[in-house]
Amino acid sequence: MRLAARADNPAEKDVYLSIAEGWRKLAAEALRNERQDLPQAAKERRSFRRDD
Question: Would the CA dihedral through 16, 22, 28, 33 be positive or negative?
Answer: negative
pLDDT at 38: 61
Tell me how far apart the alpha carbons of residues 27 and 12 are, in angstroms, rounded to a whole number. 23
Direct distance between the N- and C-terminal alpha carbons of the chain, in angstroms, rounded to an integer? 52
Question: Can you give the pTM of this predicted structure?
Answer: 0.61
pLDDT at 35: 79
| pLDDT tens string 1-52 | 999 999 999 999 999 999 999 999 999 999 988 877 665 555 566 667 665 5
